[in-house]
Amino acid sequence: MDSLLLLNGSPRGPRSNSMRMLTQVAQGWQAGGGAEPTVLHLARSADFDRAVIEIGRAGKVLLGLPLYTDSMPGLVLGFIEALEPLIGREDNPRLGFLVQSGFMEPLHSRGLERYLMKLAMRLGSPHVGTIVRGGGEALQVMPDQALGKLFARLQDLGEQLAREGRFDPETLRQVAGRERLSPVSAAAMFVALKMPITQFYWTQQLKKNRAWQRRFDAPHASA
């Protein structure tokens, strides 16, 4: 059985939504006969450096990350750039990805999904599939009991990776859910996002992550 390297690309580290989902995939991997995976958090500098080394030794790698502005966190981009020495190398690991976002609609993550597929191709690594899931921020507040169906499907994907070496496309579709909201659901979501309780949640998140004072920053705006 090949080794599995789990890479958490969320700046939140172990307490992130990405890690909560990766943990479920790891449980399925072990249920499918895989050994306990190595878990590294790219937000930790020591783990980041180790991940650059370990990725060249692993049999399979699953990189999980949140969608940031229709792309990825800067630390994930930095990690990808550090993989340049692997280009053209033989026996590169099989690569899989997990992309989750606060957007309810999975379609927001499809552009990044295509990029990650091309990344695997350029590295010469077989692509085992990309898990895409919207509404990821709900994982911060929902108990495990309310997420039973999602967790069961993530565990199924882990078992598939262990036994078949890839993710089943139908299970990926089930995890992703409805690709986009209906007009009625989109209108209801727009109203919900304007409610004081929703705004309070995001305000608390900004303050918790020390970003409240910088919420109007526009670093790429022209002077």
Task: Give the pairing type, strands 60-66 and 4-8.
Answer: parallel
pLDDT at 46: 97
Average confidence (pLDDT) per 10 residues, the chain, 223 residues: 91 94 97 96 97 95 92 94 93 96 91 97 96 87 84 98 97 92 70 76 82 82 67
- Strand order of the β-sheet with 127-133 is 38-41, 4-8, 60-66, 94-100, 127-133
- Find the angle CA(50)-CA(56)-CA(59) to the nearest 5 degrees: 110
For residues 78 and 46, the answer to whether their CB atoms sit within 8 Å is no
Same domain assignment for residues 141 and 186:
no
Which of 68, 65, 41, 67 has its CA nearest to residue 54?
A: 41
Same domain assignment for residues 153 and 209:
no
Tokens 């989109």 identify what position?
186
Q: Domain count of the chain?
A: 2
H or E stretch including 65? strand 60-66
Q: Which domain covers residue 204, as residue numbers?
A: 181-223
CA distances from 220 to 69, 119, 209, 217, 223 (A): 13, 26, 21, 9, 9
pLDDT at 104: 84
pLDDT at 118: 97
Same domain assignment for residues 127 and 222:
no
Same domain assignment for residues 207 and 151:
no
pLDDT at 223: 56
For residues 165 and 159, the answer to whether their CB atoms sit within 8 Å is no
Same domain assignment for residues 52 and 143:
yes
pLDDT at 196: 84
Question: How many Cβ atoms sit within 10 Å of the Cβ of residue 140?
Answer: 14
Same domain assignment for residues 52 and 133:
yes
CA distance 38 to 31: 16
